[in-house]
């Protein structure tokens, strides 16, 4: 069961890495396009890049939630070292979920304003 879990996490991490790489290269292309045609770049961002960005954020939030949950379970142990490790994993999970949500909130706010 642990082996299957490691395989799933590895595949998810690899897929996320590829998605983030593709998304960043696409955003670079849109940035170059924005220098000549800002309206077209904005339309392409809203229709193509934003849904991909939301999918990457959804994966980050789910992964962060799982890490937070596992960290809290580990932190409930009686061992002092287990509590410390559990707290570190829980904080990492919280940050993995919270930071992308905060960033997408800023992006959506700026898109509404502009």
Q: How far apart are CA 86 and CA 104, in angstroms?
A: 28
* Residue listed under structure tokens 């998605």: 19
How sure is the predictor about 114, in pLDDT bands with cuts at 50, 70 and 90?
low
What local confidence, expressed as pLDDT, does residue 8 receive? 84
Q: Where are the domains of the chain?
A: 2-113
pLDDT > 70 in the chain, percent: 98
Cβ atoms of 93 and 71 within 8 Å: the answer is yes
């Amino acid at each position: 069961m642990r082996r299957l879990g490691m395989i799933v996490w590895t595949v998810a991490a690899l897929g996320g890495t590829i998605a983030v790489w593709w998304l960043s290269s696409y955003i670079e292309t849109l940035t170059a396009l924005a220098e000549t045609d800002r309206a077209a770049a904005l339309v392409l961002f809203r229709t193509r890049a934003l849904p991909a960005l939301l999918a990457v954020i959804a994966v980050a939030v789910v992964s962060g939630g799982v890490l937070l949950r596992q960290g809290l379970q580990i932190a409930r142990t009686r061992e002092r070292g287990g509590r410390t490790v559990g707290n570190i994993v829980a904080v990492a999970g919280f940050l993995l979920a919270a930071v992308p949500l905060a960033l997408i909130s800023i992006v959506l706010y700026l898109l509404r304003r502009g």
